[in-house]
Structure 1
Amino acid sequence: MKYRKLGKTGLQVSEISLGTWQVGGRWGDDFSNRNADEILNKAVDEGVNFIDTADVYGDGLSEKAVGRLIKTRKEQIYVASKCGRKLDPHTADAYTPAALRTFVEDSLRNMGLETIDLIQLHCPPTDVFYKPEIFELFDRLKDEGKIRFMGVSIEKVEEGLKAMQYSNVCTIQLIYNIFRQRPNELLFAQAKRNNIGLIARVPLASGLLTGKFDHQSSFTKDDHRNFNRNGEQFDKGETFSGVDYDKGLAAVEQLKQLFPNVNLPSLALRWILASDEISCVIPGASNVTQLQNNITAANDGELNAIQIEKIKHIYEQFIKAEVHQRW
């Protein structure tokens, strides 16, 4: 496992880390403590030292699983969680320092921790980025020893650019993959200038970039790839990266033709890690096999300039017009 600096936190984190959305649900599987524990422990066995969770994943069950991991391992493991999505309705007006403090303290209890290494606003409405009192709260939480660092998880590039104006924002978590290339323009340059750690989520476009789906593929009713394709429950961009399913399949077929002997998930992860501005990528895993495949991808070697140019061409041909300016 290779490690990279997480922006101005100074933490050295595994470039392939672990996101626990799948562990907590919304992917069609019931939560299983045993499965969660197996995935988390195997990740640490393989050198993963950065775990990303959220209070809404499994309504706290994911955080509790992370807490069990921390208690039973001696390795240095950095825990990132997120807050804000429990607000109902999820509006900018609902974001108050008091509400967010409660969520952070609930997360501490869920995980049995005294301090969360990184707490992130969980894709708040854009107007929240114009509420300085929200960001000031996290300075107080840091002074109280409840968090070490704060960051934001965003949907739109513009939100990331605004977040960097707050001095206590250390990280930005964003959707970045072969189907969502816009961030590597202005956002990456500004992040580098401001020493912001970038955490790439949804690296496989909700599984589209695994190359395993076709027009006959189906998803259970509780899987967001079934019920959120048009943004019915949360931002459309979180499901298949906002790409029309049929167009995504066409782009994947082109990838298969241009890279006939290459493992597509490995290609997708290596493409992300080709950007030095990325601190880590956080693919999820529903089982240990998926986890292992993700981790070994980084050992398949770096992409060359010709490969990167081919991927850019596919994006421009199939995807760019639909998603580039939206997020």
Structure 2
Amino acid sequence: MKYRKLGSTGMNVSVIGLGTWQFGGEWGKDFTQVEVDAMLDKAGELGINLIDTAECYGDHLSEKFIGGYLARRKREDWIVATKFGHHFQGHLQREQLWRAEDVLKQLDDSLRALQTEYIDLYQFHSGTDEQFDNDKLWSMLDRQKQAGKIRHLGVSISASGSGVHQTSAAADVQAEAIQVVYNRLDRQPEEEILPLCIEHKLGVLARVPLASGYLSGKYKPDAVFGQGDVRANHKEDVRQKQLRAVAEIATNEVPSGLDMAQWALAWCLQHPAVTSVIPGCKNIEQVISNASAADLDMVKDTTQ
């Protein structure tokens, strides 16, 4: 495994992290604690130390699985990132909660679910610029940092917004990391977000690095996703366009004999702004495959 410093946090994070939206039950599979433990054990064995979750991946369900694991392991071995701003109400349904008092409750609920006394990276989760510009919210979060409940703050940019304002203003609210959708099929962050992150010395977590699995190389243009899978909600024309683009990338860009998913993760990590990628996983085999991307020559360790 290779490691990089996450912005100005001083934390050395593995270039391959572990995304855990799937543990909340919205990706076509329900998990058990035994399955989650096995995947996290394998991740730790392979040098992965970064777990990314959220309050609304299930009703703190993903966090509860992670907490069940952390309660029986060395907490200091892991960098835990979670988020705030929403409450799970059902499959792909969320209630917006941005008042300072609501977020404080979410924070305490997350700490209980994670069975930990502190969160390493607490991230504003896909809110609007208006919701972001809330002095009472950030003042409350600063007090929680002083109290030791939060070590560092971050901003997870909404996939539906530009993110320029929040990235530019991150330092003003003491946020030190940006999470953004970035992959070979979605390069928009290269235009403004990633250059701003370099300018402001912000760490970058690239989420959806496999483009919701399209860049795994497993799906053909006629692929069908079952009920309960997030991808089943993607518009048919968009899904087909994505799959055709993937086929072209596989033919023209991925070196012969190289696993496409590993190539796609390493491709993200080539950008000088990107600190870590946080792909999801449904089994131990995917954890192993994802971690192997760190071994590719195109991935550099920048902790030195």
- Both structures adopt the same fold (TM-score exceeding 0.5): yes
Partner Cα distance (1:296, 1:30) in 2: 26
Q: Which residue among 104, 109, 113 is the counterpart of 2:107?
A: 104
Structure 1 segments, 4+ long, off by >6 Å, are none
Q: Which residue among 286, 291, 297 is the counterpart of 1:290?
A: 286
Return the structure number with greater relative CO, CA threshold 8 A, min gap 6: 2
Which sits farther off after the overlay, 101-110 or 146-155?
A: 146-155
Partner Cα distance (1:215, 1:176) in 2: 22
Q: Which residue does the alignment assign to 1:158?
A: 164
Partner Cα distance (1:29, 1:163) in 2: 38
CA, structure 1 residues 87+223, in 2 after alignment: closer, same or farther (shift >3 Å)?
closer
Q: Note the 1:1-327 alignment, pairs <5 A.
A: 1-74=1-74, 76-86=77-87, 90-91=95-96, 94-155=97-158, 156-227=162-233, 229=234, 244-258=238-252, 259=254, 260-302=256-298
Partner Cα distance (1:82, 1:163) in 2: 18
Q: CA deviation at 1:292?
A: 0.5
Q: CA deviation at 1:161?
A: 2.6
- Cα deviation code 1:20-65 (max 9, x no counterpart): 1112221011132111111111111111111111122232221122
Which residue type is aligned with residue 25 of structure 1?
Answer: G
SS of residue in 2 equivalent to 1:246 = helix
TM-score (norm 1): 0.83
- 8 Å Cα contact 1:8/1:195 also seen in 2: yes
Q: CA deviation at 1:214?
A: 2.0
TM-score (norm 2): 0.89
CA, structure 1 residues 203+221, in 2 after alignment: closer, same or farther (shift >3 Å)?
same
Partner Cα distance (2:45, 2:15) in 1: 15
Partner Cα distance (2:174, 2:53) in 1: 20
CA, structure 1 residues 186+216, in 2 after alignment: closer, same or farther (shift >3 Å)?
closer
SS of residue in 2 equivalent to 1:265 = helix
Partner Cα distance (1:222, 1:184) in 2: 32
Q: Which runs of 5+ in 1 are unaligned?
A: 231-239, 304-327
Q: CA deviation at 1:87?
A: 7.4
Which residue type is aligned with residue 200 of structure 1?
Answer: A
Which residue type is aligned with residue 225 of structure 2?
Answer: F
Q: CA deviation at 1:190?
A: 1.6
Q: Which residue does the alignment assign to 2:302?
A: none
Partner Cα distance (2:250, 2:15) in 1: 25
Partner Cα distance (1:223, 1:153) in 2: 22
- 8 Å Cα contact 2:81/2:120 also seen in 1: yes
SS of residue in 2 equivalent to 1:59 = coil
SS of residue in 1 equivalent to 2:27 = coil
Q: Which runs of 5+ in 2 are unaligned?
A: 300-304
Q: CA deviation at 1:153?
A: 0.7
Partner Cα distance (1:87, 1:286) in 2: 21
SS of residue in 1 equivalent to 2:113 = helix
SS of residue in 2 equivalent to 1:79 = strand
Partner Cα distance (1:109, 1:198) in 2: 27
- Cα deviation code 1:267-325 (max 9, x no counterpart): 1111101012111110110101011100001212218xxxxxxxxxxxxxxxxxxxxxx
SS of residue in 2 equivalent to 1:284 = coil
Over the matched positions of the two proteins, sequence identity in percent amounts to 38
- 8 Å Cα contact 1:85/1:124 also seen in 2: no
Which residue type is aligned with residue 148 of structure 1?
Answer: R
Aligned residues: 289
Q: CA deviation at 1:96?
A: 0.5
Partner Cα distance (1:43, 1:36) in 2: 11
Which sits farther off after the overlay, 103-112 or 53-62?
A: 53-62
Partner Cα distance (1:301, 1:244) in 2: 33
Which residue type is aligned with residue 44 of structure 1?
Answer: G
Of Structure 1 and Structure 2, which has the larger fraction of its residues in helix?
A: 1
